Structure 1
Amino acid sequence: MVNENGPTFVTLGMFIIDEFIFLNDQGQPTGRTLAPQIGGGGTYAAIGARIWLPARQIGMIVDKGHDFPVLIHRELLRYGPDMWNFREQETGTTRALNSYRGDHRNFEYLTPRIRITPRDLSNSKLENCAMLHFICSPTRANAIMSEIHEVNGWAPTTIYEPIPDRCVPEELPSLTKVLPFISILSPNAEEALALLSLPLPPTRSSIERAAGMFLDIGVGTEGGGWVIIRSGGMGAYLKARNTEGLWVNAFWTNKDAGKIVDVTGAGNSFLGGLAAGLFFTSGNVEEATLYATVSASFTIEQEGLPTVIQSPDLSQEKWNDDSPQRRLELLKMRHRKQ
């Protein structure tokens, strides 16, 4: 049975508890420590959407193991209990280790992954969402789309983010199979070039070329689709078939180095913000990308998730002691001046 009042945005990304090790270039401990933090691309995407949408319009499954920290549970609830669908697990909570050696970051899972699929949304408050976000290999994206097609009458806007370690040329045949059914394909610049065997480092021209190649391969041929290549300080490049490509500036650039603390999760929160923007602009991808850019701007200002505080009368929210709407208007003004 399909819930006709499903949420606006749901992510299939996993909830992860991140642990950290910091080493210098020679592999020796730096002495820096960081307590375990809330992690997972899906979590950052959900918060990116939450910056704009009320918690009741967002959904994410959180697999809660026997070792789930009380402090992390409380922190999640601060964003609104309605957005989290907790599932009790007899095993431990999914954990991953982030190892930093100088400027290089390595990521590895410490526990088995509990993958989430569209079938997990059935018969819950998360079914029949308007927009569905997933982070996975192209091979698994095909399986996810097959499950979506099994649900009669459900045709969500699909926001697909290829998982970094599977952005390799060998995955291109699987990607080609799924692209016609994807509404929005959004790798970052390095991932896009790696999938297409284009040389690094990224440049504006190579990013534009990659977007065109993805469209030629077949993004959205079953009903229109967009490629949005997230490009860090360069901004984001978006293009659809038979349209001119468009660059949207980053909110914080390399000139604002003091504002950029940790870019972890920025791309994920960008896509959650994009979904919220699509909701507010009735599907205008170009305008929605401005919302996405603002969501990313809050994510990179600290290690971990941005903070939210409600006004005493509950009429307004501030994120990192600033207004998302103020940043949105400022970003729109910058683009009007170009």
Structure 2
Amino acid sequence: MACSKTFVTLGMFIIDEFSYTDLEGKSTKASTFEIGGGGTYATIGTRIWLPPEQVGMIVDKGYDFPSEIENKLKAYGDQMWLFRPQNEARTTRAMNIYRGDHRGFEYLTPRIRITPRDLTNTALDRPRMLHFICSPLRASTIISEAEEVEGWNPLTIYEPIPMYILSPNAEEALSLLSIPIMRPISKPLIEEAANRFIQLGVKDAVIIRSGELGAYVLRRKTGGKWVDAFWTEADASKIVDVTGAGNSFLGGLSAGLQIANGDVYEAVFYATVSASFVIEQSGLPAITSSGDRALEQWNNDSPRRRLEALKSRARHE
């Protein structure tokens, strides 16, 4: 089956539940639930730039699937979601436990993992880019399955160790290389880590996501450059919740690679803007104006406006 999708994730759709207590276990805030899953955030990060018919994700829909969540997902575009009924099971759920300053995480239901074979003969079959989040062992299995499909050679966007483009955050990068983490983490230390990854054999580019410092892009052939974070220290009130920021960054990166014909440095500007929308609230950003792609807005702002503002800042540095 031919597929018109540019980006498809194998990440699981998760309903995140939240529990807030003090150190003695007394509730400090009412329990809530939100849309979750790294794959979901990556999908929305891509959707900010690409039309819904080019983006895709499987959503395993249990018997307890809330109608308000389904309606919110469909607001981003019906064509994005392949809902698979799981009539005998609950939707995948996870509990995020906040006890004082400590955070815990645990799955409340069995996980339904998704593989390339699940895409076969569906509207998500053989996309140009395939995103997945898993252990290296499982990643090897996913890649082997993809290689079994004749005529399909997707660009893989893999968290945390990609095949072609490596994009950890700063702490992950230093930990992977056994470099001592000295705070505050400096740009020269991040640049050193990126160079080490290239020396270890990363084929194309290393992108280290570095919070308020921005993102460092090192390409094997052309060297390294920094891209600023969209929101700076002066805009601290805009940063509400960074959950999913890294996933949405990689989704925006995928869209940017498509739009910019594979230019990794250019794609990081799109990635940075996608992350800027995700961190402005708890949960996913909202489409506040849709219909005309050129005028589409998220959180009452234009991704294109932010993209041009970020590029203008880079030109004047």
Structure 1 counterpart of 2:121, one-letter code: N
Kindly tell me: are residues 312 and 46 of structure 1, through their superposed partners in 2, closer, same or farther at Cα, counting changes over 3 Å? closer
SS at match of 2:109: coil
Kindly tell me: are residues 287 and 29 of structure 1, through their superposed partners in 2, closer, same or farther at Cα, counting changes over 3 Å? farther
Aligned mates of 1:255, 1:313 — CA distance in 2: 33
Aligned mates of 1:74, 1:43 — CA distance in 2: 15
Pairing 1:190–2:171 present? yes
Q: What is the correspondence of 1:91-130 to structure 2 with a 5 Å cutoff?
A: 91-130=89-128
Displacement after TM superposition at 1:314 (Å): 7.2
Displacement after TM superposition at 1:31 (Å): 2.2
Aligned mates of 1:101, 1:210 — CA distance in 2: 34
Listed as ranges, the gaps of 5+ residues in structure 2 are none
- Alpha-carbon contact 1:227-1:238 (below 8 Å) kept: yes
SS at match of 2:229: coil
Displacement after TM superposition at 1:154 (Å): 1.1
Displacement after TM superposition at 1:216 (Å): 2.2
Among the aligned pairs, what percent are the same residue?
62
Q: Could you say which residue in structure 1 is the equivalent of 2:240?
A: 261
Displacement after TM superposition at 1:240 (Å): 2.3
SS at match of 1:219: coil
Q: Could you say which residue in structure 1 is the equivalent of 2:310?
A: 331
- Alpha-carbon contact 2:227-2:269 (below 8 Å) kept: yes
Displacement after TM superposition at 1:311 (Å): 5.3
Q: Could you say which residue in structure 1 is the equivalent of 2:274?
A: 295
- Alpha-carbon contact 1:158-1:183 (below 8 Å) kept: yes
Aligned mates of 1:233, 1:30 — CA distance in 2: 32
Q: 1:14 aligns with which of 12, 15, 19?
A: 12
Aligned mates of 1:105, 1:292 — CA distance in 2: 27
Q: Could you say which residue in structure 1 is the equivalent of 2:43?
A: 46
Listed as ranges, the gaps of 5+ residues in structure 1 are 163-174
Aligned mates of 1:297, 1:239 — CA distance in 2: 22
SS at match of 1:32: strand
Runs of 4+ in 1 over 3 A off after TM superposition: 27-30, 311-315
Displacement after TM superposition at 1:105 (Å): 2.4
Displacement after TM superposition at 1:33 (Å): 2.4
Q: Could you say which residue in structure 2 is the equivalent of 1:207?
A: 190
Q: 1:237 aligns with which of 191, 200, 216?
A: 216
Kindly tell me: are residues 151 and 270 of structure 1, through their superposed partners in 2, closer, same or farther at Cα, counting changes over 3 Å? same
Kindly tell me: are residues 79 and 312 of structure 1, through their superposed partners in 2, closer, same or farther at Cα, counting changes over 3 Å? closer
- Alpha-carbon contact 1:159-1:186 (below 8 Å) kept: no
Displacement after TM superposition at 1:103 (Å): 3.7
What is the root-mean-square deviation in Å for CA atoms of aligned residues?
A: 1.7
Displacement after TM superposition at 1:309 (Å): 2.1
Pairing 1:277–2:275 present? no
Q: Could you say which residue in structure 2 is the equivalent of 1:169?
A: none
Aligned mates of 1:27, 1:267 — CA distance in 2: 32
Pairing 1:75–2:72 present? yes
SS at match of 2:32: coil
Deviates more, 1:119-128 or 1:299-308: 119-128
- Alpha-carbon contact 1:298-1:319 (below 8 Å) kept: yes
Displacement after TM superposition at 1:40 (Å): 0.2
Displacement after TM superposition at 1:207 (Å): 1.9
- Alpha-carbon contact 1:186-1:228 (below 8 Å) kept: yes
Displacement after TM superposition at 1:307 (Å): 0.6
Q: Could you say which residue in structure 2 is the equivalent of 1:86?
A: 83
Pairing 1:246–2:225 present? yes
Displacement after TM superposition at 1:46 (Å): 0.5
Aligned mates of 1:320, 1:27 — CA distance in 2: 37
Aligned residue pairs total 314
SS at match of 1:261: coil
Q: Could you say which residue in structure 2 is the equivalent of 1:286?
A: 265
Aligned mates of 2:4, 2:126 — CA distance in 1: 5
Q: Could you give the per-residue CA deviations for residues 125-180 of structure 1, whole angstroms, max 9, x where no partner exists?
A: 11121111111112211111111211122111111112xxxxxxxxxxxx6xxx6x
Kindly tell me: are residues 49 and 312 of structure 1, through their superposed partners in 2, closer, same or farther at Cα, counting changes over 3 Å? closer
Aligned mates of 1:234, 1:257 — CA distance in 2: 13
Displacement after TM superposition at 1:83 (Å): 0.3
- Alpha-carbon contact 2:4-2:53 (below 8 Å) kept: no
